[in-house]
Amino acid sequence: MRRFHAWTLLLAIVYVPSTACAATQHPVRPTHVILMIADGCGPASVDLGRMVGGAPLALDRILVGSVGTASASSRITDSAAGATAMASGVKTANRMVGVDPSGRRLPTVLERARERGMATGLVVKSTITDATPACFAAHVMERGAQDTIAVQEIEGRVDLLLGGGRDWFLPLSRGGVRKDSVDVIAQARGYGYTLVSNRAELAAARATPLLGLFAHDDLSYALDRDTLTEPGLPEMTRKALALLARRPAGFFLMVEGSRIDHAGHANDPASHARELLEYDAAVRAVLDFARRDGHTLVVCTADHETGGLSLGRRIGDQSFYELRIEALRPITASIARMADSITAGVAPEAVLTRYLGSPPTPEEKALVDSAVVARKGVAAAIGEVESRRGLVGWSSNAHTAVDVGLYAYGPGSERFRGHHENTDIARLLAEAMGLSLAPIKQAKPSTSDAR
């Protein structure tokens, strides 16, 4: 009897680990995969957003690691090289979209998902032809070739495209900026796309393929958005989920908080925080969907940090053991909008009083007035006023080499724990979906793609 119990115990010990090992070797494959990219968002950006919002973020509960962001040409990447790494699993040179440094076309996780029969979507606040979305559905030598990218996105039959950049879809004769005569919107309609251009039309959309172009260029900052006509990132994301989830084979969706980056370039702390909070609201919507669905993998990260944001700063020779985040909460416009008002002739003191939430001090007024007299740097001066009020600092108007956060939830999320390179994102997503990112033997993109 004792021998029986001993063998039973031994079998149980052997059996349980082998089962666990089998589960590890054959994890459950997600039906839906959502990659969310907070463009230009470093660790300090997340902290700033949390402090300005005054509550925990949706991101906070799914933090699993960090990501190195270097490109093939620099320790500091641009968005094209950063997104190519996350879409294709290969480091490329800055400014190159969907190709390796030699110009060889790279397959992307979106393209491989589409080949599988999955629905695909791109949702952004920039132009839909900007570097990050382009890297998932286009292949050009130069990110500035947004006219070529527009055509490739439509010809690639991405099921859902929501963002800005209407100008890149229309020739000059139709009010766009294309120098050829191609009307890409007409071409899209020929392929079966429905075009929507405002919130009401987006709400009424019932099927894909869907092309949403809600601005001539980038969508507005959250602080400046006309909420009657222009959709926000959470709204576009929820619509994308509702439409793409109808595909039986599942979907791949990339959502970008594009203007976190733009506010970082501008050193605009209030807009930077509000864009992060809008992105986090979209993350919350995605996580709600994933929890209800039970078969959705969600991965959130950034392509790089922008601005070298510091929470704490020196003014002159004085450093402060203080952070005045409450000074950023009353701000109701981006520094670009304030600068435009001043340039249009509105008195600087009136603009600052209206949008900053309190009148400027004599020193603040003098700083902005000097920029007005010089006829340059007005937005930068307002950004410095905001940053001094909040005691936040910036080291750059460009990108930095700081590692960025990595967040994951759902089946396959365990793959993303720890520190990774940006190329690992594409590789791990492909593994989770059972896809191959092996390059296709193909001719290099035409040099006519470069602008």
In DSSP terms, which residues pair with 210 in a beta bridge? 160, 194
- Residue 390 CA, distance from chain mean position: 25
Cβ 131 vs Cβ 143: under 8 Å: yes
Cβ 408 vs Cβ 416: under 8 Å: yes
**Helical spans, DSSP H, in 214-314:** 233-244, 259-265, 269-293
Cβ count within 10 A of residue 318: 7
Distances (CA, A) of 92 to 102, 140, 141, 201, 347: 9, 12, 10, 38, 47
Catalytic residue among 45, 66, 71, 79: 79
**Position 377: which residue type?**
G
Kindly give the pairing relationship between strand 404-409 and strand 63-68.
Answer: antiparallel
- DSSP state letter for 12: H
341 tagged catalytic: no
CA nearest neighbour of 404 among 57, 62, 58, 63: 63
Two tokens at 205?
A: 């959309």
Cβ count within 10 A of residue 193: 21
234 prior amide bond cis, ω within 30: no
Cβ 161 vs Cβ 138: under 8 Å: no
Active site residue ranges: 79
